[in-house]
């Protein structure tokens, strides 16, 4: 069944090509399609296009379909083009002409828009909860290991003293920037497009404020054309938010892969969180973190994929937009699993103490020695040359005691301030 069926069949190859994997993806959107149908039916009743008896029967059947979906028993057979046609078929099968009335004052375009907006709102909330959990863990680890020094690097060369407290809390605060993106995407999603129909509104006196209230949207997408143009804009905004989180996870995973290697040996994990080699018995491979890195790098390509699909489309609906679902919907489950695995693994991290006692890290303290001379009255450029000369002639013998007091330094992590900052995000 197709909502646009006029009584003649479509070539099978054309059908397969145009539908693609929409049925599979629509199973995830099915819940939201029913919710949108219920709100739309109530609005049709409010403006007098459905009788009391019709709205009662429609609402009953739709709630029954919702129960089937929630129980995991809902399917979309190949004879149906999408979730919308399957639900309308079920209503018509049970209610006859009353079921056929559900599509009054509506297009499949605004149905898809409503489904995706509602789905994205919920899915972003799940991602935000995963980010919250990781943030709290990182702050806890920063406090736990705040006094364990760690070599800092620039250009992958030994640079200056850092600490595990500084490292963990750096990623915690970076997540706040990602939250800003998630909140922005949430604002884009929290606009009701229902009533825009095919993108040009309807001649029926529909009540869009009423459906906005019923569906729990903060506001309307008022202009019907703007609502239709929101398809693509929503997906791209969401993709930028997801890619921002993914960028943070990818960078931290790369750090972990480096720090686990024998050349660094700063951290380790229990054997059950690593994998071995088929021929090298000594190996403990960071497969989990490599996969997080790879998956998150794929997610960072998503905004550009969506840009290339949509950037030269004029206003109005185009079938190209169907392709956005293929990237959008799986991206949430991918990022959610990466957040879960990183948090699960970090709960078991083993931090190596006394790292900087190794002789190769003695030059970490060159800047500290320069600063001590400056504080004693030596001009900075002269102090720099003195310490450089000592390094060159092999007489550099630093004091490895590090005292940093300014905000954001390893001696003053500002963990409470970072937590307070997040609470206002």
pLDDT per residue of the chain (425 residues) written in tens, 0 to 9: 554 454 545 566 665 665 567 788 999 999 999 999 999 999 999 999 999 999 999 999 999 999 999 999 999 998 898 999 999 999 999 999 999 999 999 999 999 999 999 999 999 999 999 999 999 999 999 999 999 999 999 999 999 999 999 999 999 999 999 999 999 999 999 999 999 999 999 999 999 999 999 999 999 999 999 999 999 999 999 999 999 999 999 999 999 999 999 899 999 998 887 665 555 555 578 899 999 999 999 999 999 999 999 998 999 899 899 999 999 999 999 999 999 999 999 999 999 999 999 999 999 999 999 999 999 999 999 999 999 999 999 999 888 888 889 999 999 999 999 999 999 99
Which H or E run includes 157?
A: strand 157-163
Provide the token pair at 52: 């009391």
| DSSP per-residue string spanning 253-319 | HHHHHHHHSTTT--EE--GGGSB--SS-TT--B-HHHHHHHHHHHHHTTHHHHHHHHHTT--SS--G
Can you give the pLDDT at residue 210? 98
**Rounded Cα gap, residues 269 and 256, in angstroms:** 10
* Residues β-bridged to residue 153: 158
Residue 192 host element (H or E): strand 191-192
Pull the structure tokens for residue 395.
């007489």
Domain 12-103 class? Answer: mainly alpha
Counted residue by residue, the chain has a size of 425
Distances from the Cα of 381 to the Cα of 166, 323, 356, 366, 397, angstroms: 28, 60, 27, 14, 20
CB–CB of 215/244 below 8 Å?
no
How far is residue 299's CA from residue 243's CA, in Å, rounded to a whole number?
A: 6
**In a 3-state reduction of DSSP, which class is residue 143?**
helix
Start and end residues for every CATH 1.20.200.10 domain found in the chain: 108-196+222-356
Structure tokens at 237: 């905004």
Provide the β-strand partners of residue 154. 157
CATH 1.10.275.10 in the chain: give the residue spans: 12-103
Token match 């099915």: residue? 30
The reported pTM is 0.91
Residue with tokens 């909330």: 125
Fold exhibited by the domain 108-196+222-356: Fumarase C; Chain A, domain 2 (1.20.200)
């Amino acid at each position: 069944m197709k909502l646009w069926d006029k009584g003649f069949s479509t070539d099978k190859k054309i059908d397969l090509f145009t539908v693609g994997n929409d049925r599979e993806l629509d199973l995830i959107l099915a819940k939201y399609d029913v919710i949108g149908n219920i709100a739309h039916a109530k609005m049709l009743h409010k403006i007098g296009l459905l009788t009391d008896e019709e709205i009662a029967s429609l609402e009953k059947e739709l709630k029954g379909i919702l129960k089937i979906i929630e129980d995991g028993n809902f399917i979309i057979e190949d004879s149906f083009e999408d979730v919308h046609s399957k639900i309308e078929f079920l209503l018509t099968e049970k209610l006859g002409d009353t079921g056929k009335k559900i599509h009054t004052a509506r297009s499949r375009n605004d149905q898809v828009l409503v489904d995706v907006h509602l789905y994205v709102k919920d899915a972003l909330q799940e991602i935000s909860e995963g980010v919250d959990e990781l943030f709290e863990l990182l702050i806890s680890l920063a406090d736990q290991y705040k006094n364990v020094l760690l070599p800092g690097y620039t250009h992958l060369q030994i640079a200056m003293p850092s600490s595990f407290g500084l490292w963990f809390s750096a990623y915690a605060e970076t997540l706040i920037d990602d939250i800003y993106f998630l909140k922005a995407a949430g604002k884009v999603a929290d606009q009701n497009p229902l009533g825009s129909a095919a993108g040009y509104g309807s001649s029926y006196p529909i009540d869009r404020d009423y459906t906005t209230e019923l569906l729990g949207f903060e506001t309307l997408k008022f202009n019907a054309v703007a609502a239709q143009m929101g398809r693509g804009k929503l997906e791209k905004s969401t993709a930028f938010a997801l890619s921002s989180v993914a960028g943070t996870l990818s960078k931290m995973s790369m750090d972990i892969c480096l720090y686990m290697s024998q050349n660094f040996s700063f951290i380790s994990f229990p054997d059950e969180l690593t994998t071995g080699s088929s021929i090298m018995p000594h190996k403990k491979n960071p497969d989990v973190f490599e996969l997080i890195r790879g998956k998150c790098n794929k997610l960072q390509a998503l905004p550009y994929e969506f840009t290339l699909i949509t950037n030269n489309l004029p206003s109005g609906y185009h079938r190209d937009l169907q392709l956005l679902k293929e990237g959008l919907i799986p991206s949430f489950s991918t990022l959610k699993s990466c957040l879960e695995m990183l948090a699960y693994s970090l709960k078991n991290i083993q931090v190596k103490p006394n790292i900087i006692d190794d002789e190769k890290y003695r030059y970490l303290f060159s800047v500290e020695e320069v600063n001590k001379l400056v504080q004693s009255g030596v001009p900075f450029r002269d102090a720099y040359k003195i310490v450089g000369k000592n390094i060159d002639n092999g007489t550099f013998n630093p004091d490895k005691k590090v005292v940093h007091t300014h905000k954001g330094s390893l001696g003053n992590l500002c963990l409470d301030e970072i937590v307070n900052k997040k609470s206002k995000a």
